[in-house]
Amino acid sequence: MRAFCLSLFLFTAPLLCHAQSDPDLNRKLNDFNEWDLRHGEWKVDDSKRIVGNGDSSLVSKVMLPADGDFSYTMTVLMGMRARVAFEGTGIMIGNEGWAYAIEAHGGATRRHVKFQYKFDQPMRITLKFRGPNFEMYIDNELYSRGTRKTTPELTRFRLSAGDGWSKGIVAFSNFEYTPVKKEKP
């Protein structure tokens, strides 16, 4: 009986981690204390945005089920290397070229359109992950659709304001995770 209870716990414990309420998860995603500074300068501004400066990286402590909708607002204030990666998926949203353009990188895309941005322009970005597939929306318009490199059980946000080539200043805010709605049998 003890072995059964232990195996039941080991099987259900990861599921319990996913059962946190959405408001609790979203509160943590927007709390600067729930992020790990990897390198660079990060702060919270007067508008409660998380702002990165220069060659920088910040990783959410909150692990999330990798299927769901991941939304955030990104405002590039300076530079050309604003990026948000979804760890374990191979997907990164950001700028890799010479133009001021946000796009999906790292997956096999079937639809791929670059979003041309301007400095100080808030962009509401949503990634919808379903199994191996993803869709990227900017300001509620579909810009990219494709397949992730890998489909992990869990993922988390990794933010970057810039790199060694373009230091950048970027403000991130309004993080939101919405789980996939389970269909009733």
Q: Do the domain assignments include residue 8?
A: no
Lowest-pLDDT range, 8-17, 28-37, 79-88?
A: 8-17
Give the tens place of pLDDT for each residue, 110-128: 778 899 999 999 999 999 9
Domain that holds residue 109: 21-179
Would you place residue 67 in the very low, low, confident or very high pLDDT band (cuts 50, 70, 90)? Answer: very high
Q: Do the domain assignments include residue 15?
A: no
Number of domains in the chain: 1
- What pLDDT is stored for residue 14 in this prediction? 38
Q: Do the domain assignments include residue 69?
A: yes
Would you place residue 16 in the very low, low, confident or very high pLDDT band (cuts 50, 70, 90)? Answer: very low
Q: Do the domain assignments include residue 16?
A: no
**What letters, b where the CB count within 10 A reaches 16 and e where it falls short, cover 31-63?**
beeebeeeebebeeeeeebbbbbbbbbbbbebe
Q: Do the domain assignments include residue 167?
A: yes
For residue 57, the one-letter residue type is S
Q: Do the domain assignments include residue 175?
A: yes
- Comparing CA positions, the residue from 92, 89, 98, 87 lying closest to residue 74 is 92
Give the tens place of pLDDT for each residue, 123-181: 999 999 999 999 999 999 999 999 999 999 999 999 999 888 888 999 999 999 999 87
